[in-house]
Copies of this chain bind each other. A is one copy, B any other.
Amino acid sequence: MSILPPPDFNLLFNPGSIALIGASNNIGKWGAIVFLNILLGGYQGRVYPVNQKEETVLGHKAYPKAYQIPDLVDLAIIAIPAQWVMEAVQDCIRKGVHMAIVITSDFSETGEQGALLEKELTEAARSSGMRLVGPNTMGIFSASANLTALMPPVRPKRGQVSLVSQSGNIGTQILGWGEKFGVGFSKYVSSGNEGDLRSEDYLSFFGKDPETKVILTYIEGLDDGRKFFESARKITHSKPIIVFKGGKTPAGARAAKSHSGAMAGVVELYEAAFKQAGLLWASTIEEMLEWAAAFSSFPLPRGNRVGILTRGGGWGVITADACMQMGLEVPPLDDTLIQALDKILPSYWSKGNPVDMVASISMDDYLSCLEELISWEKVDAVISLSGDAGPLSGILSDVRKKGEGLIPAEKLDHIAGQISTVRAQIYQRVCELMEIYNKPVLSVGSNLVRGKGGTQADISLPQFRTPERAAKTAGRLYQYYRYRRALGRE
């Protein structure tokens, strides 16, 4: 085998021009859906449809062969049946293409014949200086190029998280959920069968990529585990990598083999190796997204002590339980802090941690309590369950809809305006407090909104659906802090 040409990931994530082989006018075909995704995603480079039967595809002049395109082609995307892919790859080689995405499936994931074809394809490409994503990939996303070269119609929120996934469905689902979880993406690769480029190649690139702050990876199996873990270990001391492993059980491993051809291996060995390399092991996709949001936006807690602020006693109980179950401490308050909070809260507040504000509605009081708690030297993070405008906001829309005349309209408008202002103020103040004290505030079930303009503290503020999720996330932030500290990085 000749020397492996190093992959130029700039061609993949920032191509100036794309040839789409198999582009189609038929919206029932992937060649049409991928093309629509690219066009509607806002990609500003040139796209050349390659189609042997059509003059134009979706309004663009089509070319029968990739090498007939009268322009440089940075990236080829191939979405035609498997038996014609080799010919298309050879056309691309003739054109001088150095990077291609092979969407087409029916390769090593379906059996020996497909595996042979995949091997031939890879060797043909490599020996001509071309590198391949896939085959059997769902495509890639790149925020910097506005490029959504994907089968599913996802329009990811933009940010600093990058993802490589051995399952295209899971990867694109993760992208799609980003908005909901407050996770913005920089780059995504569905690595498919990894006939040529593998997870560790993308990982190494993300490790060096200045646009990537947090890395996610969905793994079913590794052909070269040693290389993967070596690549990962070089990254984790400066950027967190969150991993989710599919194929943890015999039934899952059997399914993985039939789908990506991956050998899932023994889960305990994987888990141990991942942890040793400093990766964070997520047990659900939702956890992965919650942690990604937190690592993108929060300072790391420098200890395991959590202050809890709540407006409802039960939620305080659940949060305290969840913290302890994660190995976090919920330190009892000391007298000085109790006295400070006494000045803010009604006499029958909980006098403990969780700080139960006992159904107090005032948002000024909430912010005062929050600052007392986060500034206390005995906590390293705060979980806040009270940062919303209380029950008033919910009842307002109901009064408007059904309670005509009960309360004057101008009074309702006034209250609604206050709530919206308060939410923006709290958002800004929570961000400021995190900056001032360099501790994370994990907000649960809130509806905080980023204020319009003029804010210095432009940290984005993920919000958690439940206190259990906030507690687990706080635990992972601390776990990563400890890992870095052990390496002398904190």
Taking residues whose C-beta sits less than 8 angstroms from the other chain, chain A's interface range is 35 or more
Confirm or deny: A366 has a beta carbon within 8 angstroms of a beta carbon on chain B.
no
A330 touches B405 (CB 8 A): no
When the two chains form their complex, are residues A321 and B40 in contact, meaning their CB atoms are under 8 A apart?
Answer: no
Given the known inter-chain contacts A255-B352, A350-B255, A356-B258, please indicate yes or no for A170 contacting B314, CB distance below 8 A. yes
Q: Collect the chain B residues with CB atoms within 8 Å of residue A250's CB.
A: 324
A317 and B256: CB pair below 8 A? yes
Q: Select one of B167, B258, B330 contacting A312, CB under 8 A.
A: B167
Q: Are B252 and A324 in contact (CB under 8 A)?
A: yes
Known: A105-B359, A251-B323. 4 other contacts (CB 8 A): A58-B407, A105-B358, A169-B311, A253-B317
Q: Which of the listed residues A313, A354, A395 has the most CB atoms from chain B within 10 Å of its own CB? A: A313
- When distances are taken between beta carbons in the complex, the residues of chain B under 8 Å from A314 are 165-171, 218, 220, 246, 259-260
In the assembled complex, the Cα of A30 lies from the Cα of B395 at a distance in Å of 12
Contact call A255/B316, Cβ cutoff below 8 A: yes
Q: 11 A-B residue contacts at CB 8 Å?
A: A109-B348, A151-B359, A169-B312, A171-B314, A247-B317, A249-B320, A249-B321, A255-B320, A259-B313, A259-B314, A259-B356
Q: CB-CB < 8 A to A308: which residues of B?
A: 255
Seen from chain A, the residues whose Cβ lies within 8 Å of a Cβ on chain B are: 27-28, 30, 33, 36-37, 39-40, 58-59, 105-106, 109-110, 114, 151-155, 165-171, 173, 218, 220, 246-256, 258-260, 284-286, 308, 311-318, 320-321, 323-325, 329-330, 332, 348, 350-354, 356, 358-359, 361, 391-392, 394-395, 398-399, 402-403, 405-407, 411, 415, 445, 465-466, 468
Docked complex Cα distance between A105 and B37 (Å): 57
Given known A109-B313, A313-B255, A403-B39, contact A247–B321 (CB-CB < 8 A)? yes
> Would A27 and B392 be within 8 Å (CB), given that A313-B258, A317-B252 are in contact?
yes
Contact B167 A315 (CB under 8 A): yes
Identify which of B286, B313, B352, B398 contacts A40 (C-beta below 8 A): B398
Q: A153-B395, A246-B314 are in contact. Are A321 and B361 (CB under 8 A)?
A: no
Closest to A361 in B: B28
Contacts of A332 in B (CB 8 A): 254
A168 to B316, alpha carbons, bound, how many Å? 12
A222 smallest CB distance to B (angstroms): 15
Interfacial chain B residues near A317, Cβ < 8 Å: 167, 220, 246-247, 252-253, 255-256, 259
Number of copies: 2
A244 to B412 alpha-carbon distance, docked (Å): 38
Assess the A313–B350 pair: CB atoms within 8 A.
no
Shortest Cβ gap from A119 to chain B (Å): 18
Is the Cβ of B403 less than 8 Å from the Cβ of A320?
no
The answer to whether A251 touches B312, judged by C-beta atoms less than 8 angstroms apart, is: no
Contact A348 B106 (CB under 8 A): yes
Query: Are B254 and A320 in contact, CB atoms less than 8 angstroms apart?
Result: yes
- A403–B27 Cα distance when bound, in Å, is 13
Complex Cα distance A338/B110, Å? 15
Q: Given that A247-B321, A250-B324, A314-B218 are known contacts, is A153 also in contact with B259, CB under 8 Å in the complex?
A: no
Residues of chain B contacted by A406 (CB below 8 angstroms): 36, 39, 58-59
A320 vs B264: C-alpha distance when bound (angstroms): 13
Cβ contacts under 8 Å, A321 to chain B: 246-249, 251-252
Contacts of A415 in B (CB 8 A): 27
* B251→A36 contact, CB < 8 A: no
Determine which of B28, B399, B468 lies in contact with A284 in the assembled complex, contact meaning CB atoms within 8 Å.
B468
Q: Is the CB of A255 within 8 A of B354?
A: yes
| Bound form: Cα–Cα A402–B146 in Å | 14
Interchain CA distance A450-B248 in the complex, whole Å: 36
- Residues on B with beta carbons closer than 8 Å to the beta carbon of A247: 317, 321
B152 touching A394, Cβ below 8 Å:
yes
Assess the B252–A320 pair: CB atoms within 8 A.
Answer: yes
Q: What CA separation (Å) do A350 and B255 show in the bound complex?
A: 8
A250 to B325, CA, bound (A): 10
| Cα-based distance from A128 to B36 in the complex (angstroms) | 74
